[in-house]
Structure 1
Amino acid sequence: MTQVCDVVDVDVSAPQAESSPMSRLGEEIRDANLTYLMLAQQMLRVDRSEALYRLGITSEVADILSSLTTAQLLKIAGSSMLLARFRFDDSLVWNLLSSPKRDDVSPRIHAAILMAGRTAAMAAS
């Protein structure tokens, strides 16, 4: 009596875990943080006063950002917290910025004036 045994090739390695939505969000937060930090440093090198206004940061924060090394940027970007945040929290500025009239720049200018006033108030405090 002869028995034949077929050899079956079976992959016994651990199944690849698909990345969860939270881990994907964490990766996107790290990417956004790194992009934001690199952009901030570049803006500060090109025109410091314009960068302070556009980023909505103080001179002290600008000094810190400017002095960060690449290793420090990567470490900070790896945080699970989003570093950039919305600078305005009232409906007036949001409505001015999202005005449906594309060729009317006055709402955007008004929003810029409001934001400049807030930046100046922040710098004074």
Structure 2
Amino acid sequence: MNGVEVSKEISDLNLTYLLLAQRLLRQDRAAAMFRLGITRELADMVVGMSLSQIVRLAATNFVLCGFRLGDVPSMGSMVQESKDHALQQAHLSILLAARCNDPHVQAAA
């Protein structure tokens, strides 16, 4: 895969992510902010963006979304086979909720 193909795939990913984020925020703002891990200010910005602004932002050469589970043990625990999928999902929700309430994470967002 060459650099042009990578840039195109990053742009496609960004566009898909931004359009999904905007749709989720319009449907249920609080749930979307939690699921996306974004602040109120960023949610306001995304909702207020026009399609041309979204396309322009998506064209950047950097991936705009990222892994929310930034450490190997958390990610590892979520990909292991589990007999109780509901419990695994509850564990993930607790991890992400705790991270959202961490002032250091909010400052970086």
TM-score (norm 2): 0.88
Aligned residue pairs, count = 106
1:41-72 alpha-carbon deviations (Å, 9 max, x no partner): 00000000000000000000000001000110
Give the whole-Å Cα distance in 2 for the aligned partners of 1:78 and 1:46.
25
Please, what TM-score do these two structures have when normalized by structure 1? 0.77
Gaps of 5+ in 2: none
CA RMSD of aligned residues (A): 1.7
Q: Where do 1:90-109 residues align within 5 Å?
A: 90-109=71-90
Letter paired with 1:69:
S
- What percent identity do the matched residue pairs reach? 34
Following superposition, the deviation at residue 124 of structure 1 comes to 6.4
Decide which of 93, 101, 108 is 1:120's aligned counterpart.
Answer: 101
Q: For structure 1, which runs of at least 5 residues remain unmatched after alignment?
A: 1-19
Does the 8 Å CA contact 1:96/1:108 hold for their aligned counterparts?
A: no
CA distance in 1, matches of 2:106, 2:11: 32
Structure 1 or 2: more helix by fraction: 2
Change in Cα spacing, 1:102 to 1:72, as seen in structure 2 (3 Å) is farther
User: Equivalent residue for 2:63?
Assistant: 82
